[in-house]
Structure 1
Amino acid sequence: MEQLVVGSLLSALATGAGALPILFFKQVTHRWRDILLAFTAGIMMAASTFSLIPQALANERLIVVCLGVLTGTILLTLLESVIPHIDLEHTRANISMDSQSLLILSAITLHNIPEGLSVGVSYSSEQSGLGGLIAFAIGVQNAPEGFLVALFLINQRVSRFKAFLLATLTGSVEIVSSFAGYYLTSFVEGLVSYGLAFAAGAMLFIVYKELIPESHGDGHERSATFSFIVGLLVMICLIRWFG
């Protein structure tokens, strides 16, 4: 339980850590933004395919794992259909500042729920170190997300400190959802493997639908590709050493 508390807090607060530079810097180049997003994609790809899915397969039938991955993917697809995707840096929607800011914060908060569930489910697994690895992967993903949310809010004339606080709060929902995932899999027998597969599906959706396309949208595909590979290798090394 203590490890769950620490892991969920660190992964959630990584959103605030990512937003912290916004107090000092207002802009980030497209090149570095794409590199960070691609590195994050590599981390999450390795966590899903080399940790979550193999662990789920080791404890459950193939059909259960396939259903879990599909469920995670479908859930995020439904969330995206309800909450429209808005480019955090190139928004031109004709709505008021307050409404637009609320829409962004709501979308990010809802998308953080499956990530928190992933952390909680991973800590329920019998595999030593899996929870910490997934918490790290989610935290790495949250950092650039927090920065981009804070940057968007500043561009909407929200004060820097308020933008930092709001970006940090979007990650707090992961603490609640991580505990929900942990207790749900702890009390329902056989749900851990399904939960791990669900988490993998949700993370793979984020990688392919959001992170990779975003990192290739400004003409820095080659740098982003190398950054993706580096992120993948970093996570594989961590899984090898601590998994």
Structure 2
Amino acid sequence: MNMLLTGCLAASLSTAIGAFPAMLFTRVTHRGRDVLLAFTAGIMVSASTYGLIPSALKLSNLYVLTAGILLGTAILTLMERFVPHEEPRHAADPSERGIGSTYLFLAAMTLHNLPEGLSVGVSYGSDDQSLGAIVALSIGLQNVPEGFLISLFLLTHGMRRREALGWTVMTGLVELVFCALGYGFAGSFAGIVPYGLAFAAGAMLFVVYKELIPESHGDGNERASTFSFILGLLAMIGMTHYLQ
């Protein structure tokens, strides 16, 4: 239980760690933002394909993996469709920035964190003792640049520093609740653990392909973003390899 609490706290509070450097800035270049998003995407793809998917296959079979990934993708699609939100845009006109778009953006970021918390909890609930730490580390690493970007977005939309920091931390703390739910779900229904692992992988891959990659290629920085994606992928694979 101590390991579970430590892993969940580390993953969720990493968002706050990334938020603090943003307090020093009022804006970031399009190129820098794209590179950060692409690096985050690389980490998430690695966590899914090098951690969650092999573990789900080890505990079950290809049919279970397919069902879980499709379920994760479907749930995220429905949530995105019916939960009001707005994507962060590079070319936003400052004159059009309002309180409505700010809170819609916060809803979108919170939506992203739900499957992340579930993936950490489910991973700690699996029979693979090292999986929980690996997934918590991967989620925590990608939460750092995410926290930076959330805070920066709020600051550039006129929110005060203390308030921006508070909202950013809150989006990360949502992961704690869903981490507990994921762990309880996995512990109560051991046979459904591989479905949960595959679900988390599908949800993370949905976020990467639907939002992070398109957003990182929106301002003519495709080459830099591509290299950043590969570096994020390799960095997470390396850390996963040495933790096993």
> TM-score by structure 1 length?
0.93
TM-superposed CA distance for 1:81, in Å, is 0.9
* Uncovered stretches (5+) of structure 1, i.e. residues with no partner: none
Alpha-carbon shift at residue 95 of structure 1 (Å): 7.9
For residue 106 of structure 1, report the CA deviation from its aligned partner.
1.9
Query: What do the CA deviations read for 1:58-101 (whole angstroms, capped 9, x no partner)?
Result: 11122111100011111111111123332254445998833222
Closer, same or farther in 2 for the Cα pair 1:222/1:232, shift >3 Å? same
1:38·1:212 contact (CA, 8 Å) conserved in 2? yes
**SS of residue paired to 2:190:** coil
The answer as to whether partners of 1:34 and 1:215 remain within 8 angstroms in 2 is yes
Task: Provide the C-alpha distance between the structure 2 equivalents of 1:114 and 1:128, rounded to a whole number of angstroms.
Answer: 20
Match of 2:85 in 1: 84
Matched residues, number? 243
Aligned to 1:119: 120
In structure 2, the partner of 1:178 is: 179
Tell me, yes or no, if structure 1 residue 241 matches structure 2 residue 242: yes
Q: Distance in 1 between matches of 2:37 and 2:96?
A: 27
Q: CA 1:162/1:61 → structure 2, altered by over 3 Å: closer, same or farther?
A: same
State the shift of 1:233 in Å.
1.1
Cα separation, 1, equivalents of 2:78 and 2:213: 20
Of residues 125-134 and 9-18 in structure 1, the stretch that sits farther from structure 2 once superposed is 125-134
Instruction: Measure how far apart 1:8 and its partner are.
Output: 0.9
Alignment match, 1:206: 207
- AA aligned opposite 2:186: T
CA distance in 2, matches of 1:90, 1:223: 19
Q: Specify the alignment match of 1:22 in structure 2.
A: 22
Name whichever of 65-74 and 97-106 sits farther off: 97-106
1:218 aligns with: 219
Local SS of the residue matching 2:218:
coil
What amino acid sits opposite 1:211 in the alignment?
Answer: L
User: Are 2:117 and 2:176, in contact at CA under 8 Å, matched by a contact in 1?
Assistant: yes
Against the structure 1 CA distance between its residues 95 and 229, is the aligned structure 2 distance closer, same or farther, given a 3 Å change threshold?
Answer: closer
Contact 1:113 1:174 in 2 (8 A): yes
Instruction: Read off the aligned partner of 1:39 and give its amino acid letter.
Output: F
Does the 8 A contact of 1:88 with 1:149 survive in 2?
no
The aligned amino acid for 1:79 is M
Contact 1:66 1:197 in 2 (8 A): yes
Structure 1 residue aligned with 2:59: 59
Return closer, same or farther for 1:146/1:88 CA change in 2, 3 Å cut-off.
farther
The Cα shift of 1:118 comes to 0.5
Q: What is the 5 A alignment of 1:88-107?
A: 88-91=89-92, 97-107=98-108
Q: Quick one: which amino acid aligns to residue 10 of structure 2?
A: L
Q: Is the 8 A contact 1:88 1:148 kept in 2?
A: no
CA apart distance, 1:22 = 2.1
Contact 1:154 1:160 in 2 (8 A): yes
Q: Following the alignment from structure 1 to structure 2, what is the Cα–Cα distance between the partners of residues 180 and 51? A: 20
1:60 and 1:85 mapped to 2: Cα distance? 37
Distance 1:4 1:79, change over 3 A: same
Segments of 5+ residues of structure 2 without an aligned counterpart are: none
RMSD (CA atoms): 1.8
8 Å Cα contact 1:121/1:182 also seen in 2:
yes
**Could you tell me how far apart the structure 1 residues matched to 2:101 and 2:66 are?**
37
Task: Kindly state the Cα deviation for residue 56 of structure 1 after the two structures are TM-superposed.
Answer: 0.6
C-alpha contact 1:15 1:145 (8 A) present in aligned 2? yes
1:79-134 deviation line (CA, Å, top 9, x unaligned): 11123332254445998833222222222212211110011011112223211111
CA distance in 2, matches of 1:63, 1:198: 13
For 1:186 and 1:146, locate their aligned partners in 2 and report how far apart those are by CA, in whole Å: 30
- What corresponds to 2:31 in structure 1? 31
**Aligned-partner residue type, residue 142 of structure 2:** Q
Match of 2:136? 135
